[in-house]
Amino acid sequence: MRVVPVPCLQDNYAYLVVASGGEAAIVDASEAAPVRATLARERVRAVAIWSTHHHFDHVGGNEELARELGLEVVAHVSDRERVPAFGRGVDTGDLLRLGDVEARCIHIPGHTLGAVAYFVDAPGQRCVFTGDTLFCAGCGRLFEGTAAQMHASLGRLAALPGDTRVFCGHEYTASNLRFAAHVEPSNADVARAIDRAARLRSEGLPTVGTTLDEERRVNPFLRIGSPELRTTLRIAPDADEVAAFAVVRASKDRFR
């Protein structure tokens, strides 16, 4: 199995998940043209679209690609009326087959109520496609869900094996890491992550594909218990995690 990032729109990523036989699933078909070009360049055959949520910058190419290539569009069962060309509804625990690749679906409400992640546990390569729920060094805004829902969803993702690579929906890593450095200025892992992200972007490369182990060390939304973070944001040491998460999310919303 291999994963091919496909830059779309201004800062979005679609992905091709390619099985050993050349079958491919398109994760988040933001727009059709870049996906079509990447399929041709990689010489693979798309068989499905896996949508992480209904926002247009993640599903804008669904109808065109599904019609043109005869693809099944997969999304959370609750998004039947909101995901274009919806074909199959899934929920936590459902499995998707792609040649010799199997993906497990995980419902992760918070950014939207129908957000879903796709976790692939292939020999030698675990990865999870998180849309706008878990970003590299960040998380999505609470457009539909609650702080409790998002905190629980991030916990489900963080419980996956530490070597799982995170493929998220946007190139937001540099700005997310600036916030991480603000709330935990003495975190050496954050400083190293900033250097890594800057190097990759200077080379024109994506920053996505960090591991969950790395995210646990640098992502403020997975580090709610950090004493330094709580001191910076004036969160009481005994505040519960959901309340603390809500403060961190609100602080990130205001951060510039």
Catalytic machinery residues = 53, 55, 57-58, 111, 132, 170
Tell me the two tokens of residue 230: 């709580």
Question: What are the angstrom distances between the C-alpha of 191 and each of 178, 204, 251?
Answer: 9, 20, 20
Is 185 buried (19+), middle (13-18) or exposed (0-12) by CB count in 10 A? Answer: exposed
Q: Residue 64 carries which side chain, given as an amino acid letter? A: E
Contact assessment for residue 107 and residue 76, using Cβ atoms and an 8 Å cutoff = yes
Contact assessment for residue 236 and residue 218, using Cβ atoms and an 8 Å cutoff = no
Contact assessment for residue 33 and residue 13, using Cβ atoms and an 8 Å cutoff = no
d(CA 12, CA 169) in angstroms, rounded, equals: 6
